[in-house]
Amino acid sequence: MLIINWLNSVTGDESLWEKWFPKVYDSLMGPLERRGFGQIRKKLIQKAHGEVLEIGSGTGLNFPFYEHANKVTAIEPEPRMRELSLPRAQSAQVPIDVILAEAEKLPFPDDFFDTVVCTLVFCTIPNPTKALEEIRRVCKPEGHILLIEHVKIEHRFLGQLQEWLTPFWKRLCDGCHLNRNTLHLVKLAGFKVTSVNRYYKDIFLVVEAINKKQSFF
Ligand SMILES: C[S@@+](CC[C@H](N)C(=O)[O-])C[C@H]1O[C@@H](n2cnc3c(N)ncnc32)[C@H](O)[C@@H]1O
């Protein structure tokens, strides 16, 4: 918080850090991506097939890994992030459109997508429950949800540390919460979780789920 306040006071610009964050995002992620996280993305994203929706695509770090999608529609609410992702969209192996939209209000019809991809995004979405409701709506029955999320860990002290750090972290990292229990929210929303893999001392989860919709026939 102090660093952000200092940065803003030096420039007199309230939103300096918000402007800066998209530009530094790839550099901040670089060491993690090179130490295995990129491979975790690749393995998951290669499973996306058919008509694909990606939520909060940021700078497009997943785009090079789509192989089996017919088409990817990516949504991203932050115009600077979207702009930075366009070269990756253009050089991808499959067609990718990046549109400005929010997960809580998806501009798509019901039962449209075969796969929905979310990576490192449920930590930031202001209303994750509403976003999951929207994803369930636009995803076909039996469609696939692929997630990589960092979550609140079960260890008592470390989990509490995440609670304490979140107010500061949120300001520093564009609204990112360290203390979200995204797996619980996914189950609560009605998805059938088919696999959970844990990485980096259980902070990162790779989750695969199926969109179960009630049929009255
Ligand atoms: C930590 S970045 C992750 C970017 C990318 N998915 C990745 O894996 O590198 C979080 C992204 O979520 C986006 N975001 C924030 N609020 C959102 C919302 N309501 N709906 C969709 N995306 C959102 C941010 O703009 C940002 O690009």
Where residue 23 sits, what CATH number does that domain have? 3.40.50.150
pLDDT at 154: 87
Residues 6+ apart with CB under 8 A from 195: 206, 207, 208
> What residue numbers bound the domain in which 99 lies?
2-164+174-210
Rounded Cα distance between 129 and 187, Å, is: 11
Q: Ligand 1 pocket check: which of 124, 130, 134 to mutate, most ligand atoms within 8 Å of Cβ?
A: 124
Assigned domain for 217 exists:
no
Rounded Cα distance between 9 and 3, Å, is: 10
Assigned domain for 152 exists:
yes
Assigned domain for 169 exists:
no
pLDDT at 14: 46
CA–centroid distance, residue 90 to ligand 1 (Å): 20
Which amino acid residue places its CA nearest to atom 11 of ligand 1?
56
Strands 50-55, 113-119: pairing is parallel
Q: What is the CB < 6 Å shell around ligand 1? A: 55-58, 61, 75-78, 81, 102-104, 119-121, 124-126, 176
Q: pTM here?
A: 0.91
Which two three-digit tokens encode residue 206? 């790779």
pLDDT at 169: 86
Assigned domain for 15 exists:
yes
Assigned domain for 216 exists:
no
Assigned domain for 186 exists:
yes
pLDDT at 10: 45
CA–centroid distance, residue 119 to ligand 1 (Å): 8
Assigned domain for 215 exists:
no
Closest CA to 211 of 180, 189, 181, 184: 189
CA–centroid distance, residue 146 to ligand 1 (Å): 15
Could you give phi then psi for residue 43, rounded to 5 degrees?
-60, -40
Assigned domain for 59 exists:
yes
Q: Which residues of the chain have pLDDT under 70?
A: 1-17, 215-217
Q: What's the number of domains the chain is made of?
A: 1
